[in-house]
Amino acid sequence: MIEARRLHILRAVADHRTVTAAAAALYLTPSAVSQQLTALEQETGHRLVERGAKGVRLTPAGEILLSHTHAVLAQLERAEAELAAYGAGEAGTVTVAAFATGIAQVVAPAVARLAASAPGIRIRVQDAEGDASLPMVLDRQVDVAVAVEYRGAPAADDPRLTHVPLYAEPFDAVVPVTHRLADEPEVPLAELAKDPWIGPYPGNPCHDVVVLACENAGFQPRLEHSSDDFRAVVALASADVGVALVPRSALRGTDLTGVVVRPVDGVAPTRRVFAAVRRGAEGHPLIRPVLDALRAAAEDA
C-alpha cells in the first residue's frame, strides 16, 4: 500500500530537483525525505529517483508514479473539500500569496467583500511574486496564489493546479519629461532601443514581460537599473536615468512628477493575472468563496 504523504514527497522532489530544497519546502530534514523516498521505493518495488551531481531526477518508473500522483493528490483535495462541506466548515483561515499590485487590485477588495459575505472566513495575506507564490501553493505553504503568467510558469492545464483567470492589464511606457518622445501620443518600443532601461530583476515575472516586449520590437533592453518596486522604477525615470515599462495598475497612486506615461504604439505588452489553487481544492467551502470574491473584485477593478 502506497502512503499518500510519500507521494507528496515524491512530487516535491520532482518540483525542486534536490532533496535539500524539497525538504526545506516541506519543513522536513533531508534525511527524512531520503528515508521516505526509500520507503516509497520499497512499497512500489521500483527505483524511483536517481541522484547526480546536479541534483535528483526521476527514473522512468518515477515519472509513471508521478503522473498518477497528480491525480491521487487532486482526488484527496476533493475528498477534503467534500468532507469540509459535509461538516459545514464555514469558518476557518485561508492563506493567499500575491504580488504587491495584485494585493491592491483584487486581494484587498476581495477581503472586504468576504468580511460582509463570509465573516467566518479569515484571510491571511502574504506578499510574494508570482514565481514564488505558485511553488508555495504546491508545497502547501499557502492555499491560494494570485500570480502572473511568465516564461517557465506551470501551464494552465498543469495537473497539479486549477487556474482561475482574473484580469489582464497593459504595460505603459514611462519616460522622463525631458525625453525626446515625451510629447508623442504613443511610444514605439523600437525607438527606445538605445536608451538605458530601468526594470525588475530577472526572476520577477514582469522582467520577462519587459524583455519579451523589447525582443519582439527587435532589441535587447540595456537594463542599467533594477528594482522590483515600481515606485522606485518611476522615481529613477523621473531622475532622467532611463526609461521603463510599468503595469498600468502599478502607476495608480504613484508620484509621476518628472515623468510622462504613454501607451505603447501597436500591441502593448500585457501581464495576465490569475488565481491558482491545488487541483481539487477549488470546491473547498473555505476556498471557493475566496475564488469567487477574487473574480468579483477583478470584474469591478
For 196-205, how does the pLDDT look when each residue is reduced to its tens digit (9 = 90+)?
A: 999 999 888 8
Contact between 174 and 233 under an 8 Å Cβ cutoff? The reply is: yes
| pLDDT tens-digit map of 184-199 | 999 999 999 999 999 9
Is residue 290 within 8 Å of residue 144, measured between CB atoms? yes
79: confidence class by pLDDT, cuts 50, 70, 90? confident
Report, in angstroms and rounded to the nearest whole number, the Rg of the chain calculated over CA atoms: 22
Task: Return the DSSP state at 264.
Answer: B
Take residue 281 and report the three cell numbers written for it: 481544492
Q: Look up cell 498600468; give the residue.
A: 248
Of 105, 153, 139, the closest CA to residue 301 belongs to 105
The whole-number pLDDT of residue 85 equals 64
| Among 53-57, 202-206, 279-283, the range of highest mean pLDDT | 279-283
Residue type, 225: H
The reply to whether the predicted model has a pTM over 0.85 is: no
